[in-house]
């Protein structure tokens, strides 16, 4: 069995777990932090907005049971991809949206999916969700796991 990872930032990480963890082929969804410049950040540090980290989820999945395309489609349905100041009531850089790709295939699929969404006419504003190389992922504190 091949296991792969997918990492997404979409506002508060608590809200990003449930949409993914109920699918066959998804082994785990971990809340955490990525993309910043401080090692081993704490929730308090990330919440202040100075660490550069995104609140994110790291999904481990079996690509023979659920495709990366399906996971990306689920992701787009959870966020407002036109909001560069956070998501919904959660404001600040730590709540921005991003797709963190783990390999070239993921990057290509993410870019194509973003372009397809932009071309769809569903949004009147530009899609601002960034597509970035995966960085070190730091799991959040235990009390943030499986919060909902």
pLDDT digits (tens, 9 = 90+) for 24-59: 999 999 999 999 999 999 888 898 888 999 999 999
Overall average pLDDT of the 75-85 stretch: 92
pLDDT recorded at residue 23: 94
Helix (H) or strand (E) holding 62: none
Average pLDDT, the chain: 91
Active-site residue identified among 6, 12, 59, 72: 12
Rounded to two decimals, the pTM is 0.92
Q: Is 15 a catalytic residue?
A: no
Task: For 4-144, give the CATH class.
Answer: alpha beta
Domain boundaries defined on the chain: 4-144
């Amino acid at each position: 069995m091949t296991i792969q990872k997918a990492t997404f930032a979409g506002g508060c990480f608590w809200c990003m777990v449930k949409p993914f963890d109920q699918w066959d082929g998804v082994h785990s969804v971990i809340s955490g932090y990525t993309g910043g410049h401080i090692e081993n950040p704490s929730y308090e540090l990330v919440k202040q907005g100075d660490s550069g980290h995104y609140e994110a989820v790291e999904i481990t999945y079996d690509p023979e049971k659920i495709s990366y395309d399906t996971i990306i489609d689920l992701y787009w349905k959870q966020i407002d991809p036109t909001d560069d100041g956070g998501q919904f009531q959660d404001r600040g850089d730590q709540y921005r949206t991003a797709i963190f790709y783990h390999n070239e295939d993921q990057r290509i699929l993410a870019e194509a999916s973003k372009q397809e969404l932009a071309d769809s006419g569903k949004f009147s504003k530009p899609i601002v969700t960034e597509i970035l190389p995966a960085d070190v992922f730091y799991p959040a504190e235990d009390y943030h796991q499986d919060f909902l």
